[in-house]
Amino acid sequence: RGACTLGVAMLGFQVLALEPAPHNVKLLRSAVARNGLKQSVTVLQAAAGRAGADPRGTLQCPLAHSARCQMSHGPMVGSVAPAGEEVQTFQVQTQPLDEIITEYQSSESVCAIKIDVEGSELDVLLGARGVLASV
């Protein structure tokens, strides 16, 4: 878990990693610690989204395949997992990436953004207009 986060940090960059799923946050923080990267990586249990959108959402994640998590700002339709597979559903708050970076970024400028949000890429990009304009 967190191969990109760990790889970028190992290259000497500061990394701000967002992960809304609690079980993935725990795994990522453990991997960061095991690799001695606590000084280089900040892991936030958070979800990025667009500015002005309803910040309350529901995240549904199959425990066996957390890469198939699905975010919804309305009623969940269907399931992200095959019948019989355990699914974890929880409430999350989304925040525009511009706000998150302003709050947590040091004086360093942003040099890269990796987005893996299972279909919510447009919402994340719309919430990152400021940071994207600055690179």
Choose the weakest-confidence range: 50-64, 68-82, 109-123: 68-82
Continuous H helices in the chain: 3-10, 22-34, 97-104, 121-126, 129-134
Question: Is the pLDDT assigned to residue 6 strictly greater than 90?
Answer: yes
Tens digits of residue pLDDT in 71-116: 666 655 555 555 666 777 777 778 888 988 888 776 667 777 888 7
What is the structure's pLDDT at 38?
A: 94
What tokens were used for 134? Answer: 């600055």
pLDDT greater at residue 72 or residue 48: 48
